[in-house]
Amino acid sequence: MSVAVKLSSEGNVAALFVSVGLHGALLLLPILARLHDAVPPRPVDTLPNSVAMVGNSIEVEAPAPEVAAAPAAPEPAAVDLSALPTERPEPALKSEAAAILPAKPRAPAPRKARPPRRASTAPAATGSDAATSSPPAAGTFGQAGLAPGVRRLGYAFTRAIPAASPADSAWRELPVGHVGTIRIELEVDKSNRLGALKRWQAPDEPAPPAVLERMVERTLILLRAGQFALSGSNQPGSERLVIDVHLRDDAADEDATDNVVNKGFDGATPGHPGKAHFRYGTGRTFEAKVTIVRSGP
């Protein structure tokens, strides 16, 4: 019973001290507030030996004099002038510049003046005299006096024979020797086109064999699409040709086929008979002689 009374008395004393402390704190708070307002805070920028930042202020003590002193600038090191590169010679600099910069275009060399041509004093040919004063060379292509693409008739006819005739199988079957002679007349109009084919023959001369007529027809098929001039004139007119044909047997090739293995020609011109030939693999050889008998208006 005595212990319980003792504990109760000690609890009352502790409560008393707590109550007194709380009341004392309430009385001191107004006094401390008045004291704080009476003493103004020291401004930041007047603080001695401090570095301050506005906001959440952090004060740092100033560095010591021996630390704050600016370091002395280092003395410049001595430079050995003999080690520096000497001035490059001018040719080396020019070569480097030439490798970088584009080359200047050279001015074109002046052309030499040509001496004026002297006018011809020969009188110009006119009318029909122009065609007869300098007769054209026959049997060539593109000669003076002919339009582009126009060819001499006798030359072109001789050339076309070995191209058109080998397809006729009669040349491989006929006996060797003289086959025959055929005489034809061809007309050329002012547009350099071939006209109708005419036949003519000497008195008491037999009619040519059919194989020669087919030879002429096949040759003209190749020529109809072209343009031609008479062999001895640039004027429209007619031209008479005589074609004489021979066959012979030469040595056969190893394979001895009926294919054409060789052909050629020599164009006919006035005063120069033309020749045409071709040969099969069997050795059978065709030869034709083309003679211009008359060519003119």
Domain spans of the chain, in order of start: 137-296
- Tell me the pLDDT tens digit for each residue of 146-172: 889 999 999 999 999 999 999 999 999
Note the pLDDT tens digit of each residue in 75-125.
555 555 555 555 554 554 444 444 444 455 566 666 766 666 655 444 443
Confidence band of 49 (pLDDT split at 50, 70, 90): very low
> Residues 54-67: what's their mean pLDDT?
48
| Structural contact between residues 138 and 152, judged by C-beta atoms closer than 8 angstroms | yes
Mean pLDDT of 235-242: 95
Triad 67, 72, 75: Cα angle to 5°: 155
SS (H, E, C) the chain: CHHHHHHHHHHHHHHHHHHHHHHHHHHHHHHHHHHHHHCCCCCHHHCCCEECCCCCCCCEECCCHHHHCCCCCCCCCCCCHHHCCCCCCHHHHHHHHHHHCCCCCCCCCCCCCCCCCCCCCCCCCCCCHHHHHCCCCCCCCCCCCCCCCEEEHHHHHHHHHHHHCCCCCHHHHCCCEEEEEEEEEEEECCCCCEEEEEECCCCCCCCCCHHHHHHHHHHHHHHCCCEEECCCCCCCEEEEEEEEEEEEECCCCCCCCCCEEEEEEECCECCECEEEEEEECCCEEEEEEEEEEEEEC
* Weakest-pLDDT range from 127-136, 200-209, 227-236, 286-295: 127-136
Residues 154/274, Cβ–Cβ less than 8 Å: yes
Specify whether the CB–CB gap between 179 and 256 falls below 8 A.
Answer: no
Q: CB–CB of 221/164 below 8 Å?
A: yes
